[in-house]
Structure 1
Amino acid sequence: MNKPVPFDAADYMDSEEVISEYLNVALASEHPELLMQALADVAKARGMAQLARDTGLGRESLYKALAPGAKPCFDTVLKLIRALGVELHTSPITREA
């Protein structure tokens, strides 16, 4: 009998389009911890050592910033997003009358 393999979203981060859409869905959520988990998944897929070099942050700092329950400063999140090769954009919320 085959054992189930644990799901790891990082295994599916194989293109900029997939990464961007994954982060957009997390960003649209009302739960900030979901965005942080998505960033952690993408960071894992890209490699923490490379990401540390690209952000100028230490690997340990990145692991701490992306740990469940962490509340990293916005500057760290922006560095991370830029190093991942994506941008944040805004659009007006459509409100029903």
Structure 2
Amino acid sequence: MEVREVALAAGESYELRLTGRGARGYVWTWQVTGDADAVSVSEAAPAPAEMLPGASLERTYVVHGRCPGGRARIRFAQVRPPYPQEAPYDEFVLEVEVRAAKG
């Protein structure tokens, strides 16, 4: 499991790219702990040209810094939803510190 630390200013974004395995039934899920209001997470839509049948797709997630002074931990897990008892195929943790915006 890889762990990465980033510092964002309030209003700043960070893009995280993770390799997908959708053809094998895996999806990335995420859970925010710590100061959950300090960040928001969304998935960027893949470009249509990248969507080839059976291909592994790189997934892009955008983390936005929201509340200065907050610290959040985002745990991404690659799982197969029909089999919730299985351990994740892969995991990634992003530690985020949100600072005041420079102005």
The normalised TM-score by structure 2 is: 0.26
Higher helix share: 1
**In proportion to residue count, which structure has more strand?**
2
Give the TM-score, by structure 1 length. 0.27
Larger relative CO (CA 8 A, sep 6+): 1 or 2?
2
